Amino acid sequence: MFENRPNCSDEVILVGRSNVGKSTLMRELTGHSFETGGKPGVTRSPNHYDWSGDDFMITDLPGFGFMSGVPDDAREQIKTDIVRYVEDNAENILVGILVLDGKSAVDIIDRHSGEDEIPHDVEMFHFLRDVGIPTVVAVNKMDKVDDEDDRLNDICDRLGLYPPWKQWQDTIAPMTAKRGSIGSLEDAVCGHLEDAKRDDLKKFF
């Protein structure tokens, strides 16, 4: 499922837990609908969207973490496949977008923080950065959060970024994909494209 990568040299990827709104965000970015479901784990293989004539695509990678009705070994395999895909294509990935559910991310991270356990979201954030991919954390569903600044500061803290979050606007992007409110994410991604001297790709964001 992961072998059918289109022959595009440059790409932006979306990663994150199941059911955080990656497919909805993909639709906002591309104007193209992908299969989404109320049940976690609908996307099992990468969704690639490329523009004819441009050597560029956006890829929505499958969700990781808990998926109802999906056995543990299958979940682990999906995570392994995501890591391998990112490693294999790291030099072509201009930006990695880690999508979090702003309402539940802190609780989930805290629930899975232990002596011998690193929460998936935290692990994925550091993994992307370790392989040299500029990373933006898209904190989705912010319309359901009352104390926005406190929540974003808590997320920074869990990711090892020193709060306040406003000093990380190239990294932390609060948004609500379902309402099309993704301006802060687009700004952050465009900043990284500028850094990569790829202003020609900003038209997609």
Q: What is the pLDDT of residue 20?
A: 93
Running DSSP on this structure, what letter comes out for residue 177? G
Is residue 2 domain-resident?
no
DSSP label of 136: E
Paired residues of 120 in beta bridges: none
User: The whole model's pTM is what?
Assistant: 0.92
Residue 39 lies in a domain: yes
CA 99 – CA 75 distance, rounded (Å): 18
Render 83-135 in DSSP notation, one character per residue: HHHHHHHGGGEEEEEEEEETTTHHHHHHHT-BTTB--HHHHHHHHHHHTT--E
Asked if 43 and 63 touch (Cβ cutoff 8 Å), the reply is yes
Give the pLDDT score at 95: 98
In a domain, 204, yes or no: no
Is residue 130 in a domain? yes
Q: State pLDDT tens for residues 183-204.
A: 999 999 999 999 999 999 999 9
Structure tokens at 70: 């999906």
Taking alpha carbons only, the member of 167, 165, 172, 176 closest to residue 189 is 172
Read off the CATH number of the domain in which 100 is found: 3.40.50.300
The CA distance from 147 to 74, in Å, is: 36
How high is the pLDDT of residue 125?
A: 97
Does the bond joining 164 to the residue before it have cis omega, within 30 degrees of 0? yes
Residue 99 in any domain: the answer is yes
Do residues 44 and 1 lie in contact, with contact meaning Cβ atoms separated by under 8 Å?
A: yes
Mean pLDDT (10-residue bins), the chain, 205 residues: 78 93 91 62 74 85 79 85 94 97 94 82 96 98 96 97 96 95 96 95 92
Confirm whether 42 is domain-assigned. Answer: yes
Q: In the 8-state DSSP scheme, what is residue 42?
A: -
Give CA–CA dist 14/30, Å, rounded.
13
Q: Do the beta carbons of residue 93 and residue 9 sit within 8 Å?
A: no
**Residue 103 and residue 120: Cα distance in Å, rounded?**
17
pLDDT at res. 19: 87
Q: Decide: helix, strand or coil at residue 200.
A: helix
Please tell me the total count of domains within the chain: 1
Give the domain extent around 66: 10-198
Domain assignment of residue 205, yes or no: no
Residue 3 forms part of a structural domain: no
Residue type, 105: A
Q: What is the pLDDT of residue 43?
A: 55
